[in-house]
Amino acid sequence: MRVLGIDPGLRIAGYGCIDLDSSSQRLTVVEAGAIRMRTDESVPFRLLQLFDDISEIIKDTSPELFAVETIFTHRRQVSTATIMGHARGVILLAGQQASLPLMELTPTEIKKSVTGTGRATKEQVQVSVARLLHLKDPPEPTDVSDALAIAVTAAMRSQMNAKIYRFHG
């Protein structure tokens, strides 16, 4: 199974595409990186860039599942959440346009899945992702390790759901 995970952002959006070998349960990185937007440009310009880049990544990696982090908002950061909502919107549109099944995951679910605790730091996520994916070094920047963590969580959850279905089916 091939999963593309996206960590939404309008300055930097991380992406990570992984393969899960169902027989060996081994996870391997297909491609990962960061989309860096020009912060001197308008929000609509950056949204178009993000949409175009995500659409190209989908085309290049051919995922079977598309996974995106939900927005975490704090009362004091409502404007940030609104802008992140715009970014998520164009990311979801790119996935929908490619007819990909979508899995949305909360930051706490992702952290707990890869580190064992929902309160893990960015650094703990990086180290855990490197270990799970057999990488020599933790992925940089943290947007990339977050995207890989999203993909890993989605792959493991999808595999677990498939096993539950097979057991009951």
Q: Which one is catalytic: 40, 104, 137, 143?
A: 143
Tokens of 62: 């051919």
Report in angstroms the alpha-carbon separations of 115 from 30, 81, 93, 99, 162: 22, 25, 30, 31, 23
Helix 142-168 vs helix 122-132: crossing angle, to nearest 10? 60
- What is the Cα–Cα distance from 15 to 38, expressed in whole angstroms? 17
Q: Which of 40, 53, 56, 69 is catalytic?
A: 69
- Whether residue 143 lies in the annotated active site: yes
Active site residue 69: yes
Supply the DSSP string of 63-93, one letter for each residue: -SEEEEEPPP--GGGHHHHHHHHHHHHHHHH
Decide the pairing of beta strands 2-7 and 12-20: antiparallel
7 is catalytic: yes
Q: At what angle do helices 107-115 and 122-132 cross, to 10 degrees?
A: 50
**Cα–Cα dist 128/121, whole Å:** 11
Catalytic-role residue among 7, 19, 53, 146: 7
Q: What residues are labeled active site? A: 7, 69, 143
